[in-house]
Amino acid sequence: AFHIEDFKQELIDEIRAKVGEKQVVCGVSGGVDSTVLAVLLHEAGVNVKAIYVDQGLMRKNETAEVEANFKRMGVPIEVVDASERFLTALDGEGDPEKKRKIIGNLFIDVFWDAVGDAEMLAQGTLYPDVIESASNENSKASTIKTHHNRVDRILEMQKEGKVLEPLAELFKDEVRELGANMGIQQDILDRHPFPGPGLAVRCPGVVTKERLDIIRDCDHIFISELKESGWYQKTWQAYAGLIPVKTVGVKGDERSYEYATNLRAVISEDAMTADWVDLPTPLLRKVSSRILNEVSGINRVLYDISSKPPASIEWE
Ligand code: XMP
Protein backbone atom coordinates (compact mmCIF):
# COMPACT_ATOMS: atom_id res chain seq x y z
CA ALA A 1 0.00 0.00 0.00
CA PHE A 2 0.99 3.59 -0.57
CA HIS A 3 2.01 5.24 2.70
CA ILE A 4 1.95 8.93 2.07
CA GLU A 5 3.86 9.90 5.21
CA ASP A 6 6.80 7.57 4.47
CA PHE A 7 6.77 8.55 0.84
CA LYS A 8 6.84 12.24 1.70
CA GLN A 9 9.83 11.71 3.95
CA GLU A 10 11.63 9.83 1.18
CA LEU A 11 10.93 12.66 -1.27
CA ILE A 12 12.14 15.24 1.23
CA ASP A 13 15.36 13.32 1.93
CA GLU A 14 16.02 13.02 -1.79
CA ILE A 15 15.34 16.71 -2.38
CA ARG A 16 17.68 17.74 0.45
CA ALA A 17 20.43 15.48 -0.81
CA LYS A 18 20.18 16.83 -4.34
CA VAL A 19 19.71 20.50 -3.52
CA GLY A 20 21.87 21.19 -0.52
CA GLU A 21 22.35 24.94 -0.17
CA LYS A 22 21.50 25.82 -3.77
CA GLN A 23 18.55 27.95 -4.80
CA VAL A 24 15.71 26.09 -6.53
CA VAL A 25 13.09 27.81 -8.64
CA CYS A 26 9.83 26.32 -9.82
CA GLY A 27 7.18 27.67 -12.13
CA VAL A 28 3.75 27.73 -10.52
CA SER A 29 0.32 28.24 -12.03
CA GLY A 30 -1.87 27.90 -8.97
CA GLY A 31 -2.83 24.41 -10.12
CA VAL A 32 -2.58 21.30 -8.01
CA ASP A 33 0.74 19.87 -9.25
CA SER A 34 2.84 22.99 -9.16
CA THR A 35 1.40 24.03 -5.80
CA VAL A 36 2.14 20.66 -4.22
CA LEU A 37 5.62 20.80 -5.71
CA ALA A 38 6.37 24.25 -4.30
CA VAL A 39 5.01 23.39 -0.85
CA LEU A 40 7.00 20.13 -0.81
CA LEU A 41 10.22 22.00 -1.59
CA HIS A 42 9.40 24.52 1.10
CA GLU A 43 8.66 21.75 3.58
CA ALA A 44 11.98 20.15 2.73
CA GLY A 45 13.53 23.37 3.99
CA VAL A 46 15.44 24.19 0.83
CA ASN A 47 15.87 27.68 -0.56
CA VAL A 48 12.94 27.79 -2.99
CA LYS A 49 11.40 30.52 -5.09
CA ALA A 50 8.13 30.00 -6.94
CA ILE A 51 7.71 31.96 -10.16
CA TYR A 52 4.23 32.78 -11.39
CA VAL A 53 3.84 34.39 -14.79
CA ASP A 54 0.66 36.40 -15.28
CA GLN A 55 0.17 36.41 -19.04
CA GLY A 56 -3.01 38.46 -18.76
CA LEU A 57 -4.99 35.36 -19.65
CA MET A 58 -5.92 34.30 -16.13
CA ARG A 59 -9.39 34.21 -14.64
CA LYS A 60 -11.00 36.84 -12.44
CA ASN A 61 -8.90 37.59 -9.31
CA GLU A 62 -6.80 34.50 -10.01
CA THR A 63 -3.35 36.05 -9.76
CA ALA A 64 -4.13 37.80 -6.48
CA GLU A 65 -5.58 34.59 -5.04
CA VAL A 66 -2.58 32.48 -6.01
CA GLU A 67 -0.22 35.07 -4.52
CA ALA A 68 -2.24 35.23 -1.30
CA ASN A 69 -2.32 31.43 -1.01
CA PHE A 70 1.43 31.15 -1.35
CA LYS A 71 2.01 33.95 1.14
CA ARG A 72 -0.30 32.24 3.61
CA MET A 73 1.60 28.97 3.20
CA GLY A 74 4.88 30.84 3.64
CA VAL A 75 6.26 29.85 0.22
CA PRO A 76 8.24 32.68 -1.42
CA ILE A 77 6.61 33.62 -4.73
CA GLU A 78 7.57 36.07 -7.44
CA VAL A 79 4.65 37.26 -9.55
CA VAL A 80 5.74 38.47 -12.97
CA ASP A 81 3.11 40.68 -14.53
CA ALA A 82 3.65 40.20 -18.25
CA SER A 83 0.05 40.82 -19.28
CA GLU A 84 0.85 43.87 -21.43
CA ARG A 85 3.56 41.97 -23.28
CA PHE A 86 1.30 39.01 -24.00
CA LEU A 87 -1.65 41.10 -25.13
CA THR A 88 0.61 43.13 -27.39
CA ALA A 89 2.15 39.99 -28.86
CA LEU A 90 -1.31 38.52 -29.48
CA ASP A 91 -2.69 41.73 -30.96
CA GLY A 92 -4.74 41.01 -34.08
CA GLU A 93 -3.84 37.30 -34.23
CA GLY A 94 -6.87 35.08 -34.79
CA ASP A 95 -5.33 31.77 -35.78
CA PRO A 96 -5.51 29.19 -32.97
CA GLU A 97 -2.15 27.53 -33.60
CA LYS A 98 -0.37 30.86 -34.03
CA LYS A 99 -1.92 32.14 -30.80
CA ARG A 100 -0.61 29.06 -28.98
CA LYS A 101 2.87 29.52 -30.42
CA ILE A 102 2.98 33.18 -29.46
CA ILE A 103 1.91 32.40 -25.91
CA GLY A 104 4.20 29.37 -25.53
CA ASN A 105 7.30 31.15 -26.81
CA LEU A 106 6.74 34.33 -24.85
CA PHE A 107 6.08 32.30 -21.73
CA ILE A 108 9.46 30.64 -22.07
CA ASP A 109 11.20 34.01 -22.51
CA VAL A 110 9.49 35.61 -19.54
CA PHE A 111 9.89 32.57 -17.34
CA TRP A 112 13.62 32.18 -18.00
CA ASP A 113 14.21 35.89 -17.45
CA ALA A 114 12.70 35.42 -14.01
CA VAL A 115 14.72 32.26 -13.36
CA GLY A 116 17.87 34.31 -13.89
CA ASP A 117 20.92 32.45 -12.66
CA ALA A 118 19.10 30.13 -10.28
CA GLU A 119 21.10 26.96 -9.87
CA MET A 120 18.30 24.43 -9.93
CA LEU A 121 14.89 24.06 -11.48
CA ALA A 122 12.02 21.93 -10.19
CA GLN A 123 9.14 20.75 -12.34
CA GLY A 124 5.80 19.26 -11.35
CA THR A 125 5.95 16.43 -13.86
CA LEU A 126 3.68 13.52 -12.85
CA TYR A 127 3.93 9.88 -13.82
CA PRO A 128 1.23 10.15 -16.53
CA ASP A 129 3.15 13.12 -18.06
CA VAL A 130 6.23 10.94 -18.26
CA ILE A 131 4.28 8.31 -20.17
CA GLU A 132 2.34 10.81 -22.25
CA SER A 133 5.34 12.73 -23.53
CA ALA A 134 6.80 9.41 -24.65
CA SER A 135 3.68 8.23 -26.49
CA ASN A 136 1.47 11.11 -27.46
CA GLU A 137 3.29 13.93 -29.17
CA ASN A 138 0.28 15.33 -30.98
CA SER A 139 -2.15 16.49 -28.34
CA LYS A 140 -2.34 20.18 -27.64
CA ALA A 141 -1.32 19.68 -24.04
CA SER A 142 1.78 17.70 -24.92
CA THR A 143 2.87 20.32 -27.45
CA ILE A 144 2.92 22.87 -24.70
CA LYS A 145 4.60 20.49 -22.30
CA THR A 146 7.21 19.83 -24.96
CA HIS A 147 7.78 23.55 -24.95
CA HIS A 148 8.13 23.81 -21.22
CA ASN A 149 9.99 20.65 -20.42
CA ARG A 150 12.43 20.34 -23.23
CA VAL A 151 13.87 23.68 -24.11
CA ASP A 152 17.62 23.45 -24.63
CA ARG A 153 18.45 25.03 -21.33
CA ILE A 154 16.44 22.41 -19.49
CA LEU A 155 18.21 19.63 -21.38
CA GLU A 156 21.51 21.15 -20.41
CA MET A 157 20.48 21.49 -16.78
CA GLN A 158 19.13 17.95 -16.85
CA LYS A 159 22.51 16.64 -17.97
CA GLU A 160 24.11 18.51 -15.11
CA GLY A 161 21.63 17.04 -12.62
CA LYS A 162 20.05 20.43 -11.96
CA VAL A 163 16.44 19.51 -12.75
CA LEU A 164 14.28 18.06 -10.00
CA GLU A 165 11.08 16.19 -10.72
CA PRO A 166 10.08 14.90 -7.31
CA LEU A 167 6.48 14.04 -8.33
CA ALA A 168 7.46 11.97 -11.35
CA GLU A 169 6.40 8.67 -9.79
CA LEU A 170 3.02 9.88 -8.63
CA PHE A 171 -0.49 9.80 -10.04
CA LYS A 172 -2.80 12.76 -9.61
CA ASP A 173 -4.69 11.23 -6.68
CA GLU A 174 -1.43 10.62 -4.84
CA VAL A 175 -0.37 14.22 -5.49
CA ARG A 176 -3.64 15.37 -3.94
CA GLU A 177 -3.06 13.09 -0.97
CA LEU A 178 0.44 14.45 -0.53
CA GLY A 179 -0.91 18.00 -0.75
CA ALA A 180 -3.60 17.30 1.86
CA ASN A 181 -0.96 15.75 4.12
CA MET A 182 1.03 19.00 3.93
CA GLY A 183 -2.02 21.08 4.80
CA ILE A 184 -2.82 22.55 1.41
CA GLN A 185 -6.40 23.80 1.35
CA GLN A 186 -8.95 21.41 -0.10
CA ASP A 187 -10.29 23.93 -2.62
CA ILE A 188 -6.82 24.21 -4.14
CA LEU A 189 -6.50 20.43 -4.33
CA ASP A 190 -9.95 20.14 -5.94
CA ARG A 191 -9.28 22.77 -8.57
CA HIS A 192 -10.32 21.97 -12.11
CA PRO A 193 -7.53 21.79 -14.69
CA PHE A 194 -6.79 25.08 -16.45
CA PRO A 195 -4.97 25.22 -19.79
CA GLY A 196 -1.52 26.78 -20.09
CA PRO A 197 -2.65 29.29 -22.75
CA GLY A 198 -5.38 30.37 -20.34
CA LEU A 199 -8.43 32.23 -21.52
CA ALA A 200 -6.96 32.61 -25.01
CA VAL A 201 -8.31 29.14 -25.91
CA ARG A 202 -11.75 30.18 -24.66
CA CYS A 203 -11.75 33.35 -26.73
CA PRO A 204 -11.93 32.10 -30.32
CA GLY A 205 -10.31 34.46 -32.81
CA VAL A 206 -8.71 37.71 -31.80
CA VAL A 207 -7.97 38.26 -28.10
CA THR A 208 -8.61 41.69 -26.63
CA LYS A 209 -8.71 42.98 -23.07
CA GLU A 210 -12.40 43.77 -23.50
CA ARG A 211 -13.20 40.20 -24.58
CA LEU A 212 -11.12 38.72 -21.77
CA ASP A 213 -12.90 40.87 -19.20
CA ILE A 214 -16.27 39.67 -20.47
CA ILE A 215 -15.12 36.05 -20.22
CA ARG A 216 -13.81 36.67 -16.69
CA ASP A 217 -17.13 38.05 -15.52
CA CYS A 218 -19.21 35.26 -17.10
CA ASP A 219 -16.86 32.55 -15.88
CA HIS A 220 -16.77 33.93 -12.36
CA ILE A 221 -20.57 33.81 -12.13
CA PHE A 222 -20.77 30.30 -13.59
CA ILE A 223 -18.03 28.87 -11.35
CA SER A 224 -19.41 30.56 -8.24
CA GLU A 225 -22.82 29.06 -8.88
CA LEU A 226 -21.32 25.63 -9.53
CA LYS A 227 -19.47 25.80 -6.24
CA GLU A 228 -22.52 27.11 -4.41
CA SER A 229 -24.69 24.25 -5.69
CA GLY A 230 -22.12 21.50 -5.16
CA TRP A 231 -21.76 20.85 -8.89
CA TYR A 232 -18.16 22.07 -9.11
CA GLN A 233 -16.92 18.89 -7.44
CA LYS A 234 -19.14 16.74 -9.62
CA THR A 235 -17.71 18.18 -12.84
CA TRP A 236 -14.23 17.58 -14.15
CA GLN A 237 -13.84 20.93 -15.82
CA ALA A 238 -16.16 23.87 -16.37
CA TYR A 239 -15.90 27.36 -17.73
CA ALA A 240 -17.62 30.15 -19.60
CA GLY A 241 -16.09 31.24 -22.90
CA LEU A 242 -16.84 33.84 -25.51
CA ILE A 243 -18.58 33.42 -28.82
CA PRO A 244 -17.35 36.49 -30.66
CA VAL A 245 -20.47 36.95 -32.74
CA LYS A 246 -22.74 39.87 -32.03
CA THR A 247 -26.46 39.30 -32.16
CA VAL A 248 -29.44 41.54 -31.63
CA GLY A 249 -31.38 41.60 -28.38
CA VAL A 250 -33.24 43.93 -26.07
CA LYS A 251 -31.88 45.25 -22.80
CA GLY A 252 -34.02 47.58 -20.74
CA ASP A 253 -35.97 49.26 -23.49
CA GLU A 254 -33.10 49.50 -25.87
CA ARG A 255 -31.89 47.36 -28.69
CA SER A 256 -28.67 45.59 -27.83
CA TYR A 257 -26.04 44.18 -30.16
CA GLU A 258 -23.68 42.06 -28.13
CA TYR A 259 -21.67 38.84 -27.87
CA ALA A 260 -22.80 35.42 -26.66
CA THR A 261 -21.16 33.30 -23.97
CA ASN A 262 -20.94 29.53 -24.01
CA LEU A 263 -21.07 27.56 -20.80
CA ARG A 264 -19.16 24.31 -20.83
CA ALA A 265 -19.15 21.64 -18.10
CA VAL A 266 -17.69 18.21 -18.73
CA ILE A 267 -16.77 14.97 -17.04
CA SER A 268 -13.71 13.11 -18.15
CA GLU A 269 -11.15 10.57 -16.94
CA ASP A 270 -8.05 11.75 -18.72
CA ALA A 271 -9.12 14.67 -20.98
CA MET A 272 -8.82 12.46 -24.07
CA THR A 273 -12.57 11.92 -24.15
CA ALA A 274 -15.23 13.91 -22.34
CA ASP A 275 -18.96 14.13 -22.00
CA TRP A 276 -21.05 17.19 -21.26
CA VAL A 277 -22.77 17.33 -17.88
CA ASP A 278 -26.51 17.36 -17.54
CA LEU A 279 -26.65 20.33 -15.16
CA PRO A 280 -30.01 20.94 -13.48
CA THR A 281 -32.20 23.39 -15.38
CA PRO A 282 -32.78 25.67 -12.36
CA LEU A 283 -29.01 26.05 -12.00
CA LEU A 284 -28.58 26.90 -15.69
CA ARG A 285 -31.48 29.30 -15.44
CA LYS A 286 -29.90 31.10 -12.49
CA VAL A 287 -26.48 31.33 -14.15
CA SER A 288 -28.04 32.60 -17.36
CA SER A 289 -30.13 35.22 -15.66
CA ARG A 290 -27.20 36.44 -13.56
CA ILE A 291 -24.93 36.72 -16.59
CA LEU A 292 -27.54 38.55 -18.65
CA ASN A 293 -28.22 40.96 -15.79
CA GLU A 294 -24.70 41.48 -14.53
CA VAL A 295 -22.34 41.28 -17.50
CA SER A 296 -22.38 44.10 -19.98
CA GLY A 297 -21.37 42.95 -23.44
CA ILE A 298 -23.39 39.72 -23.34
CA ASN A 299 -27.01 39.33 -24.42
CA ARG A 300 -27.11 35.58 -25.04
CA VAL A 301 -26.08 32.50 -23.01
CA LEU A 302 -25.60 29.10 -24.65
CA TYR A 303 -24.92 25.71 -23.09
CA ASP A 304 -22.43 23.56 -24.96
CA ILE A 305 -23.81 20.01 -25.32
CA SER A 306 -20.96 18.57 -27.36
CA SER A 307 -19.03 15.48 -26.39
CA LYS A 308 -15.31 15.01 -27.07
CA PRO A 309 -14.81 13.65 -29.66
CA PRO A 310 -15.75 15.18 -31.99
CA ALA A 311 -15.58 18.50 -30.12
CA SER A 312 -12.65 19.33 -27.84
CA ILE A 313 -13.03 20.60 -24.29
CA GLU A 314 -11.63 24.03 -25.10
CA TRP A 315 -12.79 25.94 -28.15
CA GLU A 316 -9.31 26.30 -29.61
P1 XMP B 1 -8.98 19.86 -25.36
O2 XMP B 1 -9.48 21.24 -25.64
O3 XMP B 1 -7.84 19.44 -26.24
O4 XMP B 1 -8.39 19.90 -23.89
O5 XMP B 1 -10.08 18.82 -25.35
C6 XMP B 1 -8.05 18.76 -23.14
C7 XMP B 1 -7.55 19.20 -21.78
O8 XMP B 1 -6.29 19.82 -21.90
C9 XMP B 1 -6.34 21.15 -21.45
N10 XMP B 1 -5.51 21.93 -22.37
C11 XMP B 1 -4.27 22.33 -22.09
N12 XMP B 1 -3.52 22.22 -20.98
N13 XMP B 1 -1.80 23.40 -22.05
C14 XMP B 1 -2.29 22.76 -20.96
O15 XMP B 1 -1.60 22.69 -19.96
C16 XMP B 1 -2.50 23.55 -23.20
O17 XMP B 1 -2.03 24.12 -24.16
C18 XMP B 1 -3.80 22.98 -23.21
N19 XMP B 1 -4.76 22.92 -24.16
C20 XMP B 1 -5.80 22.28 -23.62
C21 XMP B 1 -7.80 21.54 -21.48
O22 XMP B 1 -8.10 22.57 -20.55
C23 XMP B 1 -8.44 20.24 -21.11
O24 XMP B 1 -8.40 20.01 -19.73
d(CA 120, CA 265): 38
pLDDT number for residue 136: 56
Top mutation candidate among 29, 101, 140 for ligand 1, by most atoms within 8 Å of CB: 140
pLDDT value for 188: 96
Give distance in angstroms: CA of 140 to centre of ligand 1. Answer: 6
CA of 16 relative to ligand 1 center, distance in Å: 33
Same domain, 130 and 256: no
Q: CA-CA distance, 149 to 137, in Å (whole number)?
A: 13
The CA 270 to ligand 1 mean position distance, Å, reads: 11
114 and 182 fall within a common domain? yes
Structural domain includes residue 128: yes
Please count the structural domains in the chain. 2
> At 81, which helix (H) or strand (E)?
strand 77-81
Instruction: Give the SS3 label for residue 295.
Output: coil
User: Ligand 1: distance of its center to the CA of 109 in Å?
Assistant: 21
Q: Residues 178, 213: one domain?
A: no
| Structural domain ending residue among the three candidates 132, 158, 189 | 189
Query: Where is average pLDDT lowest: 92-96, 115-119, 300-304?
Result: 115-119
144 falls in which pLDDT band (50, 70, 90)?
very low
- For the cut 90, the answer to whether the pLDDT of residue 31 exceeds it is yes
Q: Which atom of ligand 1 is nearest to the CA of 311?
A: 5
Are residues 120 and 237 located together in one domain of the fold?
A: no
289 belongs to an annotated ligand binding site: no
Pocket test for ligand 1, best of 137, 314, 315 (most atoms within 8 A of CB): 314
Nearest CA to ligand 1 atom 8: 141
Residue 310 lies in a domain: no
Higher pLDDT residue, 140 or 305? 305
**How close is the Cα of 141 to the center of ligand 1, in Å?**
5
Could you tell me the maximum CA-CA distance found in the chain, to the nearest angstrom? 70
Please report which confidence band the pLDDT of residue 134 belongs to, taking 50, 70 and 90 as the band edges.
confident
Last residue of a domain, one of 162, 189, 216: 189
Residues 54 and 182 in one domain: yes
Question: Residue 66: which CATH number?
Answer: 3.40.50.620
Do 176 and 232 share a domain, yes or no?
no
Q: Does residue 316 lie in a domain region?
A: no
Q: What CATH number is given to the structural domain containing 298? A: 3.30.300.10
State whether 58 and 121 are in the same domain: yes
Residue 32 is labelled as binding a ligand: yes
Residue 238 Cα, ligand 1 centroid: separation in angstroms? 12
pLDDT at residue 151, as a whole number? 65
Question: Does 259 fall in a domain?
Answer: yes
* HEC string for 256-271: EEEEEEEEEEEEECCC
| Whether residue 179 is found in the same domain as residue 252 | no
Residue 30 marked in a binding site:
yes
Mean pLDDT of 104-132: 93
Q: Are residues 180 and 257 in the same domain?
A: no
Closest-lying ligand 1 atom to the alpha carbon of residue 308: 5
Same domain, 42 and 122: yes
Question: Is 198 a member of any domain?
Answer: no
In a domain, 201, yes or no: no
Same domain, 254 and 177: no
Mean pLDDT, residues 173-183:
96
The yes/no answer to whether this complex scores an ipTM above 0.95 is yes
* Closest listed residue to residue 298, CA positions, set 246, 254, 252, 263: 246
| Residues spanned by the domain of 219 | 208-303
What burial class does residue 50 get, using C-beta atoms within 10 Å of its C-beta: 0-12 exposed, 13-18 middle, 19+ buried? Answer: buried
pLDDT tens readout for residues 233-280: 999 999 999 999 999 999 989 999 999 999 999 999 989 999 999 999
**pLDDT at residue 310 tops 90:** yes
In the structure, which protein residues have their CB atom closer than 6 angstroms to any atom of ligand 1?
140-141, 144, 193, 195-197, 201, 237, 271, 308, 312-314
33 has a pLDDT exceeding 80: yes
Residue 237 falls inside a structural domain: yes
Q: Which residue among 156, 189, 222 closes a domain?
A: 189
Distance CA 175, CA 235 (A): 19
Model confidence pLDDT, tens digit, residues 183-240:
999 999 999 999 999 999 999 999 999 999 999 999 999 999 999 999 999 999 999 9
Q: Is 224 flagged in the annotation as binding?
A: no
Identify the residue whose C-alpha is closest to ligand 1 atom 3: 312
Q: Kindly give the distance from the C-alpha atom of residue 316 to the centroid of ligand 1, in angstroms, as a whole number.
A: 9
Is 196 within the bounds of a domain?
no
> Are residues 8 and 35 part of one domain?
yes
